[in-house]
Structure formats: structure tokens, C-alpha cells
Amino acid sequence: MQFRNVPYYETYWHRVLGIYKQERHRINYKIEYYPTFHTQKKCCNGYKEVSNKCVPNCFPDCENGLCKAPDTCECFPGYSISTEEKHICKPICSNGCWNGECIQPEVCICYPDYFIDSDGYICRPNCEEKCDPNNGYCVEPNTCGCNFGYKKSNESEMCDPICERECINGRCVEPNTCSCYDDYELDVNDSFNCIPKCEQNCLFGTCTAPNVCTCNIGYKPINESDCKPICNQPCVMGVCIAPDICNCIVGYKFSNISVHVCEPHCEHECINGTCIAPNICKCNEGFTFDEDDETRTVCKPFCTFPCDPNAECTAPDRCTCHEGYRFFGENDTTNNISAVSNNENGTICVPVCKKDCVNGKCVLPDVCICEEGYDKVWVQMIPDNIHSYPCTSICKKVCDLNGNCNAPDNCICNNTYHNTKIQGKYICQPSCNINCEHGTCEAPNVCTCDEGYKQNEKGRCVDAICHPSCINGTCTKPNVCTCYDGYRLRNETICEPICESSCLNGTCVAPNTCRCNEGYFEIKNDNVSTCASTCSRNCSEHGTCLDEQNSCSCFFGWTGVNCDEASLCVYETTLDSILLSSITIMNETNSTLTKSYDNAPLCYQCFDSVDNATLCFVIHSDESLTTPTVGCFLSTELPCYRRPHNNALKSSSSIMGLLIIITIAITIVATISGYIIARKCRKQSTILIPNEQINSLTSDSDTLIMRDEDYLIEQ
């Protein structure tokens, strides 16, 4: 720190004659201290001074590089920073040095027992003994390895190929590749199996060795290369083509008794004859060739005596009547004679009717012709349950459709029909054993129901039809329902349940059974169901919840399921009101009146509704009022009643009054405090005190001193 004299201009008083003061001016000096500075250069941290220059400092020194920043090296071209030691730059060999070390950029030196390859960066191992030149290589110094698919030979350093399976009749020459021995060839289905070769194919045999055939089972050799099948029995009129299998020669077929015997075959079956050569038949004894058969394969029987026109020769000297005919003897009148005869004098065949021809004659098989007086028609196809052929009698008058003519000019009704005279005519009507009420007997024991009815399981028309079906009732007439007990008809086909309680707050789902809405529960009283409130809203604070019934018991003046409907309101006035001159007023009140007054809404403009029947009472209060207040209960159904205002309004009025009083009090206190402070401020004085007098003032304990820049102020 240095100092210097600084001139300044000052004003002073000079005494003249010892009595007067004269103002004068002069130049004076004062000592002024001031700091001095000088500059000293120094290298920053991480730098050192070299030849009056600050250069970055690297410790230890950079190898193969330059220090470009504190402890940061920059490598020479061809070098890169080491990951282990940041101050060492290692040479770069772009292709790497395999089994060697990079000593200079792009220069490798091999480890011992390795030599550099022609590419200049791969060091290959050196094997003193030569490895297999084709299938092996030197994997590490003095150690040979084999290529994939080869293995080391046990006898030398050569590599032998590997085959997954043993080569049969051959040797493994390449990985999974077999080479067959002489006179063997590779099996097309198995690449590891060599099979022998035979110059000629082995017919029905197998080449088991070079040029050696072995016959299959069931065959025997014919020569060196061929085998033939063996049949245990000789093939008659056939050739052995496989072991114990014969093949018939042309025109022959196997016999039914043996597979080794072949018999002549005729394309057309020899009927009543024998096939003696291919397509040549011979008739049996008593038979002869049919003249109409050009194939000469059908032999028919021969009868010495001719048969009846309604018969044919079915066997040598034997006639058979045609179907529907029988032989007729000299004294035979029945239908029980055989249809086959050996009568040397010939035969007579007559038609057969399986059922008796009543009032008629059998003229053809199962065909009758009626006698005179009966319908002369051919009668056939009679049902099995009718034991005779009916010849219908002829009636001059036409019989009813449900009757028949049972004799000439005599009509009778069919079974299950009865004769009824309608308009002078006899008509056969069907008979029904069941009662066809609500229907008509259209056929025997069959009723057809009238419209709107249907048959029951017994066939009677007693079930009426209603569309739609009756719900909770029975269909008693077409589209007319009769309801069950406890139900009533809503429309023609729907019956709805009846609930005596009308199910307020619920739905009637069965007679006197309610399904209550949410928030209500069912109560049964004399089998009558009602829905009661579940006190879900705490009875609106205007009642008590009865736990056993889970319903509300409302206070006086309130009603509704949740006691939320006011039945009374309070009209307030003073005891000296002229309206109360003729009204009876209760002076004493009980808890019921007090609670009802506290919770009831207020009435407005209801003075015209107050009369001697109105319940009025004095409202007692802790407040000292000059004139007591009187409350009167009025019905909420009166026209003067307005929207409810409960006792909360009265409570809020009291609270508002209290708040107003507190506010006025606070205002008065604040005004008085302000006035006192203003009076005190008028008496205060402000004193500016130089800095030199601070010490003397601080010793006075009755004075409060505050510092404001160069002056002290006394307050």
C-alpha cells in the first residue's frame, strides 16, 4: 500500500481585530492511500514451462506420441493409444497379427515355432513332421489336425475319412462315401452297403456272391442263373407259375375241389348237362338240346307223353302245372291235388283260386266270374283278411257311399255306420263312441273340432284355443281366459296378480306379493305384502329408524317414507299481536312441540288462516325479550304455505347477528388505536446526529438510537 498528498480547497474563518470573522479560502493537502499492482506470469495446472513457454505436461511421458494436453497423448500415425496405459501408443496392424505381435505399423513378428504367411499378418504353426497334405493341416506347433469329416490315423499322421456306418463289402474313401470291392456295386437303397454283381439276372433268385445265384424259397435252380417254382402236387391241365400256385391253360379253369386241378370251361353254363371240353356241353340222361338254343348249352327235359297246355315238362317224363293251376282227377272237386303228375295217360290242369268264389266260379288263377243276379265282373286283388271273393249283389237303387248292397236289391250300412233318415232318405252316418262336443263326427270314432278347439289325448274336442296363450289362467273358450285365484283379467288373454296393498314403491309379481324397488323391503302383514323404506337417508333427520322393521317413525309435523314431507309449518308472531286476541295459547311446551318447532319450515302471510282451532304456543328463549314470541302450527296444504325454510334459517340469522356485533366491536377498537397512535406521532421529533456523537448517545438508556447512513436519528 502506498500514499500520496492530494490537494483540496477549503473554507475557514479568519478573525479580524479580534472581533470580526472573515471567510477565507485556501488550498490544503491530505494524505491518500492507494494500492499498487504488478503482473507475474505462471503456467496453469497441468502445464510446465519449457523455453519460456507453457506446454502441456504428461506423466509418464508419451511413448510413440506427443503430449497435446495435460496427461493426454496423441499417437503418431500408425499407432493407437493403449487401453491399459494411456501414455503408451501401440503400433497398428490393420489385419491383426495372428499368433504373433505387431511391433511396428503393419509389421508383425511371430511367436516361437510359428512362421509368417505370405499375406504378411498370419503366423502359422510349424510342424517338423509333415501333416496329411490333402486332408490335414498343422493346428499348433508340431501338432497335426484333420479336416472336417476326417480323423487321425492310428498308424501315421495321415487323416482317414469318417463314415457314419461301416462300409459292407467296401471301404470308406471320403466322408460318408463308400467304395465297393471288385465284383460288388453300391446298393441304391443303402449308400453304406455293397451288394455282389451277377453277369446275368437271377430269375426267381438273389445274387448272394459275385456270379452266384441263390434261388428264393419255394424255387429250385434250372441253370446257373435261372430258378423255377416248386408245386407239391402236379398241375393237371395247368402250369406251375409260383410256389404251390398253378395257372390253368387256355379254355380251362380251376376245379372246385382242388387248386391244382383244371377242368374245361364253357363260357355259357351247361344247363342240365356237363362241359366236356372248352365250350362243348353234353346233355344228361333224359334231357335233350333245346332247338331254339344256338349255343347248344341248354338241355331241356324230355316227356314221352305230351303235357296239358297249362303245364310243362319239368323233368324226364314228368309234367308240372303252371303257377296258379293244379292237376284235376276224375272224381276230384277240391283244390288240394298236387301240381306234379307222372300219369302216363296225360294230365289236366285246372285254375286255382286261393279263396272261395262265393256266388261265382274260378275261371283263372285267383279270378272269379259272378253268377246271375250279381255284378258280373272279374274279381282280383282281394285283401288277405277277406276269406272269399265277393261277388257284389246288384241293387236297382244306389246304396249310400258308407253302405253296400248285400243281396240283390238289398242295402245295408257298413260297420261303424248307422242308418239315419234325412229328408225321406236313408243315409249311413259314421258312429263315434266318444262325445264330439264342440265338434262333428266326420268318420267312425273320429271327431273334427269346431274352430277355436283342439282334440285332447282321448280325441275329444274339449280344449279351447287362445292366441296368445293364457298367462296365469285357463283357456275356457276360444280366445277367452279364466284367471286363477288371486289374478284378474287385464285383457282377453293376460291375467295379472292382485295385491291389496297396491305395492306402493314396488311391483305386484304374485297375489299379495310385492317385489320392492331399490331402497325398500317387503313386509308381510296378514299375508298382504307392502314395501317399506330401508331408512337409507336416516329418515331425513325428521324421524327415527325402527331397526326391526327397517322403516321410519316420523316426528310430529312430518310424513313420507323417509320423513321428508312436512305436514305442518310454523307461523310466528308476538304475544301482543291483535290476531291472538281470541286465540288460546299454550304457555307450557313439551319436547315434542319444541322439536317440531325447531325442524318445521316457516309459513308466510298466513295470518288469515290462524283461528281458535290452531295450535299456538309461547316460544320460550334464554334471550330477554320485551314481548314473547308465539308460534302457531298450520297445515302445509293451506294456500299461504310457501317453499320450506327450516330452523337452519333461524340459526343462520342468529349467527349473522353475532358476526355483525363482533365486526362493530373490532371497528371501534381499531378506531381508538388509530387515534392514540396519531396523538403519539404528533409529539415525536426527529434528530440528525453526526457520526462523532454516536458513542455519547448510546450511553443514554432512555433514548432509542437508529443508524441511517452518516447520521443518527433519535425517536
Per the domain annotation, does 680 fall within a domain? no
Distance CA 341, CA 311 (A): 10
Per the domain annotation, does 456 fall within a domain? no
Q: Answer positive or negative: Cα dihedral of 27, 28, 34, 38.
A: positive
Per the domain annotation, does 75 fall within a domain? yes
For residue 467, pLDDT beyond 90: no
Range among 413-417, 449-453, 530-534, 699-703 rated most confident = 449-453
388 vs 707: which has the higher pLDDT? 388
Phi, psi angle pair for 327, to nearest 5°: -75, 145
For cell 329408524, the residue is: 545
Q: Where are the alpha helices (DSSP H) in 384-427?
A: none
26 vs 649: which has the higher pLDDT? 26
pLDDT confidence of residue 414:
80
pLDDT confidence of residue 329:
62
Distance CA 606, CA 629 (A): 16
* Rounded average pLDDT over 363-375: 79
Interval 111-133: pLDDT, tens: 888 888 888 788 888 887 788 88
pLDDT confidence of residue 548:
66
pLDDT band at 624 (very low <50, low <70, confident <90, very high): low
Distance CA 210, CA 195 (A): 9
Per the domain annotation, does 390 fall within a domain? no
pLDDT confidence of residue 701:
31
Q: Where are the beta strands (DSSP E) in 399-536?
A: 403-407, 410-413, 417-422, 425-430, 439-443, 446-449, 453-454, 463-464, 473-477, 480-483, 487-489, 495-497, 506-510, 513-516, 520-525, 528-533
Per the domain annotation, does 321 fall within a domain? no
Interval 214-227: pLDDT, tens: 999 999 888 888 89
Per the domain annotation, does 121 fall within a domain? yes
Per the domain annotation, does 351 fall within a domain? no
Q: Is 120 helix (H, G, I), strand (E, B) or coil?
A: coil
The whole domain housing 572 covers 536-584
pLDDT confidence of residue 259:
87
For residue 330, pLDDT beyond 70: no
158 vs 347: which has the higher pLDDT? 158
CATH code, 555: 2.10.25.10
Last residue of a domain, one of 180, 215, 250: 215
Q: Is 577 helix (H, G, I), strand (E, B) or coil?
A: coil
For residue 708, pLDDT beyond 50: no
Interval 41-85: pLDDT, tens: 888 998 888 888 899 999 888 989 999 899 899 999 999 988 888
pLDDT band at 421 (very low <50, low <70, confident <90, very high): low
Residue closest to 373 by CA, chosen among 409, 408, 410: 408
Per the domain annotation, does 159 fall within a domain? yes
What the block records as the C-alpha cell of 582 is 281470541
Interval 435-456: pLDDT, tens: 888 888 888 888 888 888 888 8
Last residue of a domain, one of 215, 247, 271: 215
For cell 460288388, the residue is: 184
For residue 179, pLDDT beyond 90: yes
Residues paired with residue 121 on neighbouring β-strands, in sequence order: none
pLDDT confidence of residue 73:
92
Last residue of a domain, one of 548, 563, 584: 584
pLDDT confidence of residue 193:
92
Interval 645-659: pLDDT, tens: 444 444 444 445 567
* Rounded average pLDDT over 521-549: 74
Q: In this predicted structure, which of 22-31, 253-262, 387-396, 536-545 has the lowest mean pLDDT? A: 387-396
383 vs 131: which has the higher pLDDT? 131
Q: How many domains does the chain have?
A: 2
